[in-house]
Amino acid sequence: MPAGIYDITAEQGATFARTLTWRDALAVPIVLTGYTAKMQVRKSLDADSALLTLSTVSGITLGGAAGTIALEVSASKMSQVPAGTYYYDLELTDSAGKVTRLLQGKFTVVREITR
């Protein structure tokens, strides 16, 4: 199954927080116990370096049986990302090493006015 398309808008200089729930075809949450996750934001699809990297080590919290995926980037870190439209994807890896590319899309950072 291909990755879902989900465009994200974040505000420069503000904490970015979003919680998603991964569900199966019957709307039952996928149990994420034993999973890890990684998300990267890049200027272009083929950019060599990432503007933002989140993982279960920093920035992503998985909710076990609830199937939730909580993303968070601090306000200070968001202040360092230039305003613009970028690209991201979110991958989850189960305990057996199977990788699922869950989401992809545009990651738009809206410019901060108050500095």
Which domains does the chain possess?
4-110 (2.60.40.10)
Task: Please report, as a single letter, which amino acid is at residue 88.
Answer: Y
Rounded alpha-carbon distances, angstroms, from residue 48 to 41, 42, 43, 73:
11, 8, 9, 21
Q: Is the model's pLDDT at 95 over the cut of 90?
A: yes
Which stretches of 12-57 are assigned E, i.e. beta strand? 16-21, 36-42, 52-55
pLDDT tens per residue across span 32-86? 999 999 999 999 999 999 999 999 999 999 999 999 999 999 999 999 999 999 9
Kindly report the number of other CB atoms within 10 A of residue 49's CB atom: 8
User: Any idea how long the chain is?
Assistant: 115
